Every structure is written in structure tokens, then in C-alpha cells.
Amino acid sequence: ESIPIPQIWLVIIIFFYLHWKPALAILYSYFLGFCLIHFSAAPLKMILSSLLVTFVVVWYLKNRIALSGVLTFVVLVFVGSLTFEFTYFAISRVIEPKSTSFMFIDRLQLSLVNFIVSYPFFFILSFLDKFLFDEDAWQENTTAHEVTTHE
């Protein structure tokens, strides 16, 4: 049996759940969820519902854990991945006429792979978040390169 490919999209979403404002993080995760349905057979209602439950669990745990940084991120990626996988299964059992299969080992492997790749992705995503979205860095960059006009 082969090792599953990590869900990079879910790792990115969990990063934004932890580092962005809640409304923006949910909006972005719903956008990625909408994009995901075009690459999978998953219905939109299943993806969006699972992402919302995952957000609630990750947000709740984030506010209860006193640590910050990479350790918190990798733990919450693992918990968030498990939450997403099992929520997807549970919601499928409730609302779909032909529900998805449980596949416990596959779902656990996928969560473990997400856990492993989340460590290097934390540093990549932190860099990109600071580089692209930190207003102080933008201010420093623009004031450092101001051009004076000669009249």
C-alpha cells in the first residue's frame, strides 16, 4: 500500500485559521473549498460543512493552548486533519443517501502525512504571510524606497 499525498490545501487553510482574522480565514477556506470541488468528486455542501466544523475545533483549541509557533501549528494541523476527515465521514452518513466509506487507516495516514509536511510548511507560510500581508513590512519597504522628485 502506498503513502497518501498530503492535503497541502488543508495545511494552508489551518495556517490561515490560526494567523488570520476569523471572517477572512473562513472566507478564504470556503474559496479553496469551492476550488477543491472541481478537482474531486466531493460535493460542495460536504466540503464547506467539514471546513466549518474544522474551523470551530481549531479555533477553540488555538484559544486554549498557551503555546505558539511551529509546535502548536503541527499539533493543530494533525487535529484539524482528523477533524476534517471524520467530520466529512459523519456528515456524509447523515445527509447523503450513499455515504462515503469509513477507511479508518487511510484517514489516519492522511492526517499523519499532513502532520509531517506541516513542519516545513509552517516556515514557508510564515515567510509568505509576512512578505505578502504584513502592513508594517510594506510601510518599511515603501518608505525605504521613496523617490524624491526634482523640480
Integer CA distances (angstroms), 100 to 29, 41, 52, in order: 22, 11, 19
pLDDT tens, position by position, for the chain (151 residues)?
A: 688 999 999 999 999 999 999 999 999 999 999 998 888 888 999 999 999 999 999 999 998 987 778 999 999 999 999 999 999 999 999 998 888 888 899 999 999 999 999 999 999 999 999 888 877 766 666 665 555 555 5
- Residue 122 has a pLDDT of 97
Alpha-carbon span 95 to 34, nearest angstrom: 19
Give the global pTM. Answer: 0.85
- Residue 140 has a pLDDT of 67
| Of 68, 105, 67, 62, the residue nearest 80 (C-alpha) | 62
